[in-house]
């Protein structure tokens, strides 16, 4: 039973074949239902985080960077591991790298344009370096592999196990940092004086919300893709947009709900945590399952785009000493993402998999 559930989470073919048999009317109803499920799940998740933070004393940004990001990146890990196992290393690697670019450029960029996002310097000056450091380590190892393997770079299985080990260290040290500076870690978080939920209810809402968001996203994207194919949208446009949307839809819905409920710091934590997990967990687990061959266009296109967007984010953390990210900074991150997507479609330079 559990194995069958994992297959439905990770195997894109199963979902695509399922929705292909539905009529357009059924698909439209399914999409509308998924949007409702996503919205309700994100609301439950944010409420669970807020009350869990009050119950445990942990900052909301830390819960977003650990529990929430782990839950929202779990489907990506399954997809990447299955892609690697079936020999599609480009898809496995592209899933992780593309999600980092979409999370930071599209989702965080939009969040900065929609709300005043606090800069929690105590947490971000630490986890922010892990975020950019993990991605930089991935690129350095890839470049060394390119130089030493005669033109065909491969991420060996030991790299995957190293990344998973580093992930365990990141999860632990994030908790330690939060406990060491609990007062500073709460910087920028609004006080919530609503009636406090019981701890069990907090966990139930958090887990239930995560499940709804993940399930809604997994069904919505293939349904929308099928409709796009039926109305004649080119396949490369679908690949450049729907795939990126699918891998980042849980984070996007979390961001919308957190901004709407007045807790944008949860989005910051979720984005930083998701970036770390996409590198160390998603790519790490895929490489541990089977060595990943790195397509040449990662060195000329995907890796540079990822580093540009992450180092821009790192610079904004350093520069914003007044406590908030600026709208122009969100616009810059979003513009990088838009150019990245346009180049994939217009020049076909970012195509992966196959």
pLDDT of residue 354: 40
pLDDT tens digit sequence for 149-181:
877 889 999 999 999 999 989 888 877 776 665
Per-residue pLDDT averaged across 41-61, rounded? 73
Distance of CA 204 to the CA centre of its chain: 22
Tokens of 239: 């690949």
Average the pLDDT over 176-192 and give the result: 56
Pick the CATH number of 60-190+233-346 from 1.20.1420.30, 1.10.10.60, 1.10.3720.10, 3.40.47.10: 1.20.1420.30
Q: What is the pTM of this model?
A: 0.78
- Assess whether pLDDT exceeds 60 at residue 352: no
Q: Which of 90-104, 206-220, 272-286 bottoms out in mean pLDDT, i.e. has the lowest?
A: 206-220
With pLDDT > 70 as the criterion, what percentage of the chain qualifies?
Answer: 78
Q: What's the pLDDT score for residue 12?
A: 63
Name which of 257, 201, 238 is nearest 41 in CA terms: 257
Residue with tokens 């592999």: 145
Confidence of residue 238 (pLDDT cuts 50, 70, 90): low
Q: What is the pLDDT of residue 184?
A: 47
Q: For residues 226 and 28, is the Cβ–Cβ distance under 8 A?
A: no
Tell whether the model's pLDDT for residue 320 goes beyond 50: yes
| Domain residue spans of the chain | 60-190+233-346
Which parts of the chain fold into alpha helices (H)? Answer: 2-10, 12-20, 24-56, 60-63, 69-85, 89-101, 109-114, 121-148, 157-180, 182-185, 199-230, 235-260, 264-277, 284-289, 297, 303-319, 327-346
Please report which confidence band the pLDDT of residue 7 belongs to, taking 50, 70 and 90 as the band edges: low
> Residue 210's pLDDT is what?
78
Express each pLDDT in 309-319 by its tens digit: 999 999 998 88
Give buried/exposed letters for 14-34 (b at 16+ CB in 10 A, else e): ebeeebeeeeeeebeebbeeb
Strand partners, 292: 155
């Amino acid at each position: 039973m559990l194995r069958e559930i994992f297959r439905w989470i990770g195997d894109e073919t199963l979902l695509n074949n399922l929705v292909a048999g539905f009529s357009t009317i059924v698909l439209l109803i399914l999409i509308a239902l998924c949007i409702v499920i996503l919205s309700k799940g994100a609301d439950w998740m944010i409420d669970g985080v807020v009350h869990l933070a009050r119950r445990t004393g942990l900052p909301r940004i830390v819960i977003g960077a650990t529990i929430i990001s782990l839950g929202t990146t779990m489907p990506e890990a399954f997809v990447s591991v299955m892609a690697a196992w079936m020999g599609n290393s480009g898809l496995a690697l592209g899933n992780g790298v593309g999600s980092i670019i979409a999370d930071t450029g599209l989702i965080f960029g939009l969040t900065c344009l929609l709300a005043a996002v606090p800069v929690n310097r105590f947490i971000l000056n630490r986890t922010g370096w892990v975020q950019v450091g993990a991605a930089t380590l991935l690129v350095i190892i890839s470049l060394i592999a390119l130089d030493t393997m005669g033109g065909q770079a491969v991420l060996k299985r030991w790299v995957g196990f190293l990344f998973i080990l580093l992930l365990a260290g990141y999860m632990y040290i994030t908790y330690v940092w939060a406990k060491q500076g609990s007062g500073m870690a709460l910087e920028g978080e609004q006080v919530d004086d609503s009636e406090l939920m019981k701890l069990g209810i907090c966990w139930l809402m958090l887990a239930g919300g995560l499940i709804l968001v993940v399930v809604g996203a997994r069904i919505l994207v293939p349904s929308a893709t099928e409709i796009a194919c039926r109305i004649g949208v080119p396949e490369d446009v679908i690949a450049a947009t729907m795939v990126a949307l699918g891998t980042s839809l849980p984070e996007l819905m979390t961001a919308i709900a957190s901004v709407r409920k007045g807790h944008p710091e949860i989005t910051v934590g979720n984005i930083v945590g998701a970036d770390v997990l996409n590198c160390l967990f998603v790519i790490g687990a895929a490489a541990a399952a089977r060595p990943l061959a790195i397509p040449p266009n990662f060195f000329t296109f995907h890796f540079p785009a990822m580093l540009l967007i992450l180092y821009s984010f790192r610079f904004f953390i350093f520069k914003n000493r007044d406590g908030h990210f600026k709208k122009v900074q969100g616009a810059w991150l979003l513009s990088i993402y838009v150019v990245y997507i346009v180049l994939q479609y217009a020049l076909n330079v970012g195509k992966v998999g196959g």
